Chain A
Amino acid sequence: MSTNRIISSLRAEFGEAVRGSSSPAAGRLLVDLDRSRLREAARFLINRGGRYQVGVGADERDRTQTFGLIHFFAFDRERFSIGLRTAAPASDPTFDSITPDIPSAGWTEREFRDLLGMRFPGHPKPKKLITADDWPDGIYPLRKDVPYNLVPPSTADVAYQLDEAPPGTTIVPVGPFHATLHEPAHFAVYVDGETIKHCDYRGFMAHRGIEKLCQTQVSYNEVPFIAERICGICGSVHSVAYCQAVEMAAGLSISRRAEFIRVVCLELERLHSHLLLIGVAGHLIGFDTVFMHAWRIREQVMWLSEKMTGNRKTYGMVVIGGVRRDITPEMKDEIFAVLKNLEAEIASFHKAVAGDSSIHGRTKGVGKVPTEEVVLWSLLGPVARGRGVDIDARRDFPYAAYDEIAFDVPVTTDGDVWGTIVVRLLELFESIKIIRQALDKMPSGPVLTEYGEALPAFRTGWSIVEAPRGESFHYVLTGEENRPERWRVRAPTYTNLQGIPRMLRDNQFADFPIILGSIDPCFSCTDRVAVVDRRSGRKRVWTKSEMDRLSRSRS
């Protein structure tokens, strides 16, 4: 289905409700829709093979007296992404919930319920998602009249109400601090004996208010340095995604060399991220030897990054208009040398892991999800590719210089944790291949394209970058004050975490760590939105006595 056909079929189906459409860039569509038909239109797109990406809510009361909401859908095979844009009057910010049809929209709707005060009648789980448990009702932090540094007075000891336990189950609290989690998050796991029956998640405990901060306090070219700190692993992913979204919105085209350098940064990141995860996976099934060796191999990527960028991580490289440092010929030779060594080490590592029957015993058949349900939950990255869903933004929505590079997208049909590990192991070799090609094909030229005057205001751009964990999505609406009017980040973990209860169901509690680990969860990526310093809030929510009670409670 081409972009024209989707527009005409939408018009045919919804007639007057389709108010207009535009295409901010190739492969990008925006359709303005009357909000009364939103749920039907979303279902229409899903039924035609669309994959729900994320929703973007915005406070536009100053310009149009409305709250805006855009639901984005990707058509991977047809290579375009479409946004259903709708708005509701400021007096009644109500939208039909699309979650009953599209479970992965659940968090988006809960997020804007918390942050913008939107209402979504029909939502199956209208609970708090983002703001602290004691955050006062009626203060919606992402609204423009709420200052970015507001600290509301604390209220009494309120706690999140966990889901009702299914009969005959016991709650095992995993978190807010637990050896399986490397960041704070709380999973209440409902077990029957050792079998997991249900799981409730309460996260968003480390909010930094990054979106609000960048929409109100800093300028365009300061954002990349904040964006890359959204995540401790995929820094370049977020800065590239943000910069591409701005460049798309403003219609900037950047030098080709810079695009190739971005590819090198992104793939180096994938190399060290996958090695990190495979190591952690080893640790989670109690196999520390795998952990130590994976991290030993990984270390040389970190050293290389340090030489290239000045940082152990590929931080501080990407800005709007290109990159900040060139890859010198000496550097290029060094990268080749490291890649050669890396390839040999990864090959022997791959052989050892892939043939180890005791690892198979702990990962095969664990966290099994059939392909249809992977699609239903819009799972991303290796989590989806390990379960037979062939999506990869590098190929489906080529950005930077990926259109000139040949690589395979490994897909397995195992449908379990083992599949996701195999996919990651194979992707390591693809990344090495990609970096080699990028270095060979890189044309000479400047690495930074300066943009002269102010960027045009109120233009839309959204960029899709394949992070090691799956698709990262950044939406930018340019603003008038040399900063984005609206910037929305959706890291892959945001989507994959929503599928965790499904992956856990009917598995053994002993497999909880590896199943959660198999999505390579990045809570910092997910927890990026809210507004205040949460330290005080967290203390209140998890008082010592309550922690004690919770950690000992048996029912």
Chain B
Amino acid sequence: MRFLAPLVNVAIFLALAPLFEGVLRKLTAKIQSRQGPPLHQPYLDLLKLLGKERLDSAGTWPFRFAPLLAFAAILAVAAVIPFGGRANILAGRMDVILVIYLLTLGGASVLFGALAGRNAFGLIGASREMVTMIMVEPILAMTLILGAVKLGSLSLAAAVPSAAGASYGISNALMLLVYLLALQAFVARQPFDIAEAEVELLEGPFIEYSGGNYALFKYAMMLKQMFYAWLFVSVFLPFLRTGVYPLDLLIQLLAMFVVFLLIGLVGSTNPRMRIDQAVRYYAVLIAAALAAVGLGVWGH
């Protein structure tokens, strides 16, 4: 059973990520007074893409390899996290550094793909993606490091779920605020879907991708979205626990659903920022995140 747990994580992520995406789309539609697509539309979209021709416009292996790498990286993250509040066999052996590494790898593979595609729009998108990564990753790192500081351990099993549970102080409250303000950037939603910017860059880094390769990228984005929703629930709402695994799992999923409602609400009530505006915004968040870690070290 212990060996199966990582696979259970992966299975739940794969099964539910498109559903959460569907929730986002439905909510956005309601806010825009539209009917909106059915909840299961993202599943159909992925299936449809799998049936489309897979153009290899660059003709190089990094171009073909990048979507697989992005997908594999986020699946690996899903496998190791203590989903449902219970550390599985992998979580016990891994630390938060690995999670940060894997998430960065996912972002970097988007860059590989865009750079290999050599499309003018893709390159602009890639440069924006790179700036976003540089500015947003520190916030993610601080979030996890704060837990590590409080618990004195970088272990995933300990640091993530109990980071705040140990002692909910000012530092945690500040970090929670920072995390919420950065959430749209983590999941690349408006106002921070700057790298894809449909009307100017035509999906930017993904412009040359089609068929199965594009489906992998899309799927990876949905999984990433779900991961960040989980991270929020698990780091900042650790008290939502009963100790019964299936029940905890259900509670976490429901809480993630609420996080998705929030993402949808913010996303549909904001225009896209320009990259220069976004960088200024991230800079403030990074400073605040550093302050939160500082407070954590101080013991608040």
Q: Which residues of A contact B (CB under 8 A)?
A: 170-173, 178-180, 194, 282-293, 296, 358-359, 361-362, 508-513, 548, 551-554
Interface residue from B32, B118, B123 paired with A289 (Cβ < 8 Å): B32
A440 to B108, CA, bound (A): 66
Query: Contact at B120–A170, with CB atoms within 8 Å?
Result: yes
In the assembled complex, B53 has its CB within 8 A of some CB on chain A:
no
Supposing A283-B199, A285-B271 touch, asked if A508 and B119 sit within 8 A by C-beta, the answer is no
Q: Quick one: given A180-B199, A551-B120, A554-B123, are A282 and B271 in contact (CB under 8 Å)?
A: yes
Q: Is the CB of A358 within 8 A of B202?
A: no
Contact A509 B119 (CB under 8 A): no
Contact across chains for A362 and B32 when beta carbons are under 8 A apart: no
Q: Are A286 and B32 in contact (CB under 8 A)?
A: no
Using Cβ atoms and an 8 Å threshold, which residues of chain B touch A170?
120
Quick check: A292 and B275 within 8 Å, CB to CB?
no
Give the chain B neighbours of A288 by CB distance below 8 A. 28, 32, 268
CB atoms of A359 and B271 under 8 A apart: yes
CB-based contact A362/B271 at 8 Å: yes
Of B32, B193, B199, the most chain A CB neighbours within 10 A belong to B199
Which of B124, B199, B274 has a CB less than 8 Å from the CB of A284? Answer: B199
Which A-chain residue is minimally distant from B272 (CB atoms)? A286
A358 touches B119 (CB 8 A): no
**B197–A293 CB distance below 8 A:** no
Q: How far is the CB of A279 from chain B (nearest CB, A)?
A: 11
10 closest Cβ pairs, A-B complex? A286-B272, A292-B32, A287-B271, A285-B271, A510-B274, A513-B199, A289-B268, A179-B199, A289-B32, A180-B199
Question: Once the chains bind, are B200 and A513 in contact (CB under 8 Å)?
Answer: yes
Q: Which residue of B lies closest to A363 (CB)?
A: B271
Q: What are the residues of chain A within 8 A of B31 when measuring CB–CB?
A: 289
Taking a contact as CB atoms under 8 Å apart, the answer to whether B270 and A358 are in contact is yes
Question: Quick check: B33 and A552 within 8 Å, CB to CB?
Answer: no
**Cβ–Cβ < 8 Å partners of B202 in chain A:** 178-179
Q: Tell yes or no: B2 within 8 A of A by CB.
A: no
- A/B interface sample: 27 pairs, CB < 8 A: A171-B120, A180-B200, A194-B124, A194-B275, A194-B276, A284-B199, A286-B191, A286-B193, A286-B198, A286-B272, A289-B28, A289-B31, A289-B32, A289-B269, A290-B271, A292-B33, A293-B32, A358-B191, A361-B271, A361-B273, A362-B272, A508-B274, A509-B200, A510-B275, A551-B119, A551-B121, A554-B123
Residue of A173, A286, A291, A292 touching B120 (CB-CB under 8 A): A173
Q: A170-B120, A554-B123 are in contact. Are A292 and B34 (CB under 8 A)?
A: yes
The verdict on A293 contacting B33 (CB below 8 Å), with A172-B121, A509-B200 known, is yes
Chain A residue at smallest Cβ distance from B196: A286
Provide the bound-state CA to CA distance between A293 and B28, in Å: 12
- Which of A178, A292, A361, A553 meets B277, CB within 8 Å? A361
Chain A neighbourhood of B88, CB < 8 A: none
Name the residue in A291, A292, A296 with the highest tally of chain B Cβ atoms < 10 Å from its Cβ.
Answer: A292
User: In the complex, which residue of chain B has the Cβ closest to the Cβ of A285?
Assistant: B271
New A-B pairs, 6, CB < 8 Å, besides A194-B275, A513-B199: A179-B200, A180-B200, A194-B276, A284-B199, A509-B200, A548-B57
Nearest residue (CB) in A for B120 is A172
Contacts of B57 in A (CB 8 A): 548
Chain A CB within 8 A of B213 CB:
no
List residues of chain B with CB within 8 A of the CB of A553: 120
> In whole Å, how far is A175's beta carbon from the nearest beta carbon of chain B?
12
Complexed CA–CA distance, A283 and B268 (Å): 11
Give complex CA distance A291, B33 in Å. 11
B190 within 8 A of A: yes
CB distance from B207 to the nearest CB of A (A): 9
The answer to whether A554 touches B271, judged by C-beta atoms less than 8 angstroms apart, is: no
Task: Please tell me if the beta carbons of A511 and B268 are within 8 angstroms of each other in the complex.
Answer: no
Q: Which residue of A lies closest to B190 (CB)?
A: A286
In the bound complex, residues from chain A placing their C-beta under 8 Å from that of B119 are 551-552
Q: A292-B32, A553-B120 are in contact. Are A508 and B276 (CB under 8 A)?
A: yes
Question: Which residues on A sit within 8 Å (CB–CB) of B120?
Answer: 170-173, 551-554
The digit string for B189-232, where 1 denotes a CB below 8 A from any CB of A, is 01101100111101000000000000000000000000000000
Measured CA separation A194–B123 after assembly (Å): 11
Measured in the bound complex, the distance between the Cα atoms of B198 and A283 in whole Å is 10
Q: Which residue of A282, A285, A509 contacts B124 across the interface (Cβ within 8 Å)?
A: A509
Provide the bound-state CA to CA distance between A179 and B199, in Å: 5
Complex Cα distance, B216 from A19, in Å, reads 75
Q: B224-274: which have CB < 8 Å to A?
A: 268-274
Name the CB-closest residue of A to B118.
Answer: A552
Max chain A Cβ within 10 angstroms of own Cβ: one of B120, B198, B269, B277: B120
Complex-state Cα separation, A134 to B120, whole angstroms:
27
8 Å CB interface, B42-59 against A? 57
Whether A285 pairs with B275 at a CB distance below 8 angstroms is no
